[in-house]
Amino acid sequence: MTESISGSTEIYGLIGDPVEHSFSPPMMNAAFSSMNLDARYLAFQVKAEEVSEAIAGIRALNVAGVNVTVPHKSSVIPYLDEVTPLAKKIGAVNTISNVKGHLTGTNTDFSGFIRSLKTLNFSPKNKTIAILGSGGSARALLAGLADAGALRVIVHNRTAERAEKLVTEFSQYFPQTKLEAVSLQTIHETPLDLLVNTTTVGMFSSDLPVDLKECRKINLLADIIYSPRQTSLLKQAEELGITAVNGIGMLLYQGCDAFTFWTGEQAPEEVMRNQLLSLIE
């Protein structure tokens, strides 16, 4: 990233609602700077009813690429020219590249989350895992966990029909993994190797998506929220002695994969990690 912006500076960004909490701009700008790329990364708040206009704007303004966050990961798909097979299967896109007006969507949440589990020395293979939520992130994580060999994945959503629809759809893609839509009571009663929160509960309040004190057994917990650094769920996990991680690792690794998708260059992982750590310490 150069110190001055020129007529040839490439613009990248993030679209979602909200976006002001995002750590992606400083992380990605640090990456561009370390690689001496003439590029800038900005955050754009886009309302749900403005998604089609936003995608048209990417083409019209020749924005080089964007990340997509909640609540637009699925709703952007109809407006793209191409979607990678993996993202099509997941039904959610978190990264879009623009090459001469041709927009291609992919999903790096999938790989980013699985890589982040390595910090827990955790492999999903033959494990029983619960996912809270059934949105775009849940779709990517469910696919990633099933693809990595999870034995059983149970999904709970406040709107039960959404969880049931997700499980029905993904069961045809991953027949080797037992997928179930379940009640909160089943989450409480099932011994879990890993519990994953993909909802936004805890991002803007002290609410809990699930009361861990009610749960029979949880070995590990992952909350993909990264701001605040410690949600109420993570605080409760700490109090109960449950090993847990927030969403910083997933943010880092999905960002690394997005950087490579856009530029064709290997992402400066250490630079990006250090930038993130400087923001949360």
Q: Are the C-beta atoms of 272 and 252 separated by less than 8 Å?
A: yes
Q: From CA 130, how far away is CA 193, in angstroms rounded?
A: 8
Q: Is residue 73 annotated as a catalytic residue, yes or no?
A: yes
C-alpha of 123 from chain center: 18
Cα separation of the two ends of the chain: 24
CA angle 109, 113, 115 (to 5 degrees): 120
Q: Are the C-beta atoms of 167 and 142 separated by less than 8 Å?
A: no
Of the candidates 47, 73, 127, 217, the residue annotated as catalytic is: 73
> Tokens representing 193?
């190797």
Give the dihedral sign, CA 70/108/65/33.
Answer: positive
Q: From CA 112, how far away is CA 41, in angstroms rounded?
A: 20
Instruction: Detail the DSSP E strand segments found in the chain.
Output: 10-16, 39-45, 65-68, 82-83, 95-99, 102-106, 128-132, 152-156, 178-181, 192-197, 218-223, 243-245
Q: From CA 2, how far away is CA 9, in angstroms rounded?
A: 9
> Tokens representing 4?
């001055």
> Active-site residues: which are they?
73
